[in-house]
Amino acid sequence: MAYKHDYDKILTRLTNILSKLNDGEALSVKELAEEFNVSSKTIQRDFNERLSAFPVYQDKRKWKMQDGFRVEKTKSLEEQLVLDIIEKMTESIGGKFATTSHKLLSKIKNEDFNPIYTKLNIEDISDRFDDIQIIEKAIKDKTELECSYENEREGIFRANIQPLKIVNYEGFWYLVAFRDGYVQKYYIKTLSNIKTTSKTFVVDENIQELLENSISIWFKADIEPFEVKIHADEVATKYFKRRALPTQTIETLSQDGTMEFIVTITDEMEIIPIIKYWIPHLKVLEPDWVNDVIDEELKLFLKQRN
């Protein structure tokens, strides 16, 4: 049985060894054994067992740190868990995003095992890396972009826009930008021929708050927000207590497991798809016109089936 001072000695020795490796030194087992007054077998055990999680390797009887790695990148258990989650999230995106993120995280994590599994349906836009880099730089530098865009209403057109944020809603990537004084949302895969300009702009200070309070890409910046009151049965209540909507506030919690909550939105399409997804477990109480819209759409759906 090893006592506390034995563990302290081991920790001190390992820290010193890692520090030397981190400084680019090539270390000999024999020389380390003499320095720390332990056997060569103990030093060999240090490398083979105690330091096995670190990116070290043996080359011609000398132990070295792999190029591109640094000791300070090691982290606590909590940080390890966060990195595991991030890695699984990027795996869901796939393509070049997943490959690149895995390489970067591997340099930090120094291990392949990951106990976390996630299933996220996120659109792969790794084929647009060059465009994303242009957009990111324009956002940081606050410079306008000139680009082509296509939609069903206007077809293909050329426009100057002021890029604000790259966002992801429900797995799809969009660019939120100012155009002609209004906040617009552009589906990134329909943007093309993106070029930077020399014209700069001032960022709206409210855009971050607007995005944080949005529920979906349907949000509108030029509309006064309004409240929707919703009744949730016991099935839906469990979900919306665990994962509240961005602007959700609970009004009442009943003994039978149901609840009433309010959501603040700027467009009915921020909440209607959610209500329809949760039918029959959610019902709009106020305003009546939102419930009427849902009723009409359901009637049309049932009529089309008959």
pLDDT in tens, 163-211: 998 888 888 899 999 988 888 899 999 999 999 999 999 877 777 778 8
- Mean pLDDT, to the nearest integer, of 6-12? 64
Residue type, 271: I
Tokens 């006592």 locate to: 3
- The CATH number that domain 226-305 falls under is 3.30.70
Instruction: Between 114 and 284, name the one with better pLDDT.
Output: 284
Quick one: fold of 4-73?
Arc Repressor Mutant, subunit A (1.10.10)
Evaluate the CA torsion angle 139, 144, 147, 153 in order and state its sign: positive
Helix (H), strand (E) counts: the chain? 10, 12
* Residue 65: pLDDT over 50: yes
Q: Which CATH architecture has domain 126-204?
A: Roll (2.30)
Q: How far is CA 62 from CA 48, 219, 303, in A?
A: 13, 60, 78
d(CA 301, CA 283): 18
When pLDDT is averaged across residues 136-151 and rounded to a whole number, the result is: 90
The domain locations on the chain are 4-73, 77-109, 126-204, 226-305
Reported as a single tens digit per residue, the pLDDT across 232-257 is 999 999 999 888 888 899 999 999 99
User: What's the confidence (pLDDT) of residue 7?
Assistant: 44
Mean pLDDT in residue range 110-131: 69
Helices (H), 216-287: 234-242, 272-277
Query: Does the structure show a pLDDT above 50 at 2?
Result: no
Per the DSSP assignment, residues forming a β-bridge with 229 are 262, 286
The values of phi and psi at residue 18, to 5°, are -65, -35
Question: Residues, the chain, total?
Answer: 306
Is pLDDT at 230 greater than 80 in this prediction?
yes
Q: Which of 159, 161, 176, 165 is nearest to 140 (CA)?
A: 165
For residue 107, give the H/E element and its range.
Answer: helix 95-109
Alpha-carbon distance of 80 to 159, in angstroms, equals 44
Classify residue 275 by burial, with Cβ atoms within 10 Å: 0-12, 13-18, 19+. Answer: buried
Q: 115 preceded by cis ω (within 30°)?
A: no
Kindly report the average pLDDT of the chain as a whole number.
81
